[in-house]
Structure formats: structure tokens, C-alpha cells
Amino acid sequence: MKRAFLLAAAVLAATVLPAAAQQSPQWHFMFGDRFVDAIVANPAANAALNGARPLINIETIESPSGQAPRFPSSPPANVPKAWNAIYMYRWASEQQMATDMPHVPSWITACMYDNEDAQQYPLTPQEERVRPSQWIAKAAQVCHQAHKTFLPSSGVRQFRRQDQSDNDNVYRTATDWDGYSAQTQMYEDNLQEFRSRVDDFYQHVHSVNPNAKFFIVGVGDLVHNQLAPNSMVEAAIRSLPPGTYVWLNYGPHPRQGIPARPDLVAQVIADLAK
């Protein structure tokens, strides 16, 4: 079911790829709500986000076992209104998404389906990992029926670890995507490879759905299980076209025992504003 883009995507129409259409050198950022206080406390980072419409992942909501998350009735009070933030919630399970959606408040306007064993609870069920295309299509339908923007995540190459035959079917579901997230942070130590992966994913999906309004590229502080310096992350971001949304994945990384590092996220945003 191909749908017109929803309000949250429409307001970003002037800030997405292709880069040739951009007038501003500014990148846009996606980060978790646990990073907000550190960004606000950094004057340069805070100022850089004024009017920049960051995409904020609401990741600190309690999710009791067997129950829908306890969503607050209003956005986080610590997010400056001047940012014009867009709020998102992320699921690793389409089935849990369908259960939760009636409880999702109107101020959360975007939903991400991250089909992998990530840090969300509950984790992606086996049937969703084995044959992701049908579950991506279902997730898009759930989000659109709730009048929310749909953003799938996990690079298509990651889907191949389960079933290579389903790879083309995953791409075909892009007709229902309002945007897409390429998890590319594992390549940021090699800028040529990083941009090759980004460009390949963008071109492949854009050929199916040229009207998608979000293009989100993942960067982060962990590459091949080693901490990456901010200079490496910033170089990767600077290699991207203006208008790209950048997912700042600075933890927590439970498997490596690394906590979230909000001060470093704030510093990246401040450095890029110079």
C-alpha cells in the first residue's frame, strides 16, 4: 500500500537528499533522549540544534514484561522548544509494535522498526528475523494506520544473515517507507568503504522509492569492538552530503560494558557547528 507522506515527514521535505537540492551545509542529527541534558549543557551544541529538527529516539520509557510501555502524555520537558524536535519510538518486534501502537501518544510522530537482536525489549522474534520482508510491510501498515511516519532500520546486508532469498523482497517494501536508516557505523574507520556502503544503500532504495523523505546514516563510538575517537566519527559525518540525518550511536553498549557517553555526543555536534 503506497501512501502519501505524513506530516512529520512533510515538514522535513527541504532537508533531505539529494544533496544538490540543499542550500544549508548543516547535517541533521538523531540521538536518544538520554543525551539531551548533555547537549543542552554544551552552549555550542545547544545553539547548533535551534530550528534543526533533530530526530529524538524516546528510549527511556519503561516496558514492563507483557504490557505496553508507559508513554508520558507530553514530550520530555528538557528538550528546548527552539530545536523543533521530532520524536520517535523504536521497536525490534513488529508484533510488539502492533500491541503498543494504541498507547503511543500523538506527540511521537515517527516509529522505527529495527529488525534485529538489539537493545530493545522484547527482542526481534525468530520468525521476524528469518523472513523480514513480510514483517517490514506489516510494520509500515501499523505505523501508517496510526498516522505516523515509518522508518525501517538495519542495513539490507544485515538481513542476509538470515535469508538471502528474501533480500529483494525487503527492497520491494521500500515503496511503503517514509525514510530509511543505514547502519553503517562499522565502516567509519575507512571513509572510502563508508561512503561506498552509504551510497549503495541510498541508491538502491531511492531507485524503488525516490520520494522517501528521511535518509539516516549511522555513526558511532564503537568500531570493530574498539572505541572510536570523535575525530573519526566527525570525519565520517563530514563525508556525507548536507541534509543527511546522522544517527549518533554513542551507547550504551551492554555487550562490551560501555555506558552511554552523552558528553561526547554533545562535543560532536559542537565541533561540526564550527
- Residues 156, 170 contacting (CB under 8 angstroms): yes
pLDDT in tens, 107-156: 999 999 988 755 555 678 878 877 788 899 999 999 999 999 999 986 54
The whole-number pLDDT of residue 81 equals: 97
**Residue 248 pLDDT grade (very low, low, confident, very high; cuts 50, 70, 90):** very high
* Spatial separation of the C-alpha atoms in residues 198 and 190, rounded to whole Å: 12
Among the ranges 15-24, 67-76, 221-230, which has the highest mean pLDDT value?
221-230
pTM score: 0.85
Would you call 152 helix, strand, or coil by DSSP?
A: strand
What are the structural domains of the chain?
7-63+71-272 (3.20.20)
Tell me the CA distances in angstroms from 140 to 74, 98, 136, 215, one per residue in order: 24, 10, 6, 16
pLDDT in tens, 59-107: 878 766 667 788 999 999 999 999 999 999 998 889 889 999 999 999 9
Query: Which cell numbers in the block locate residue 123?
Result: 527482542
**Cell 501499523 belongs to residue:** 142
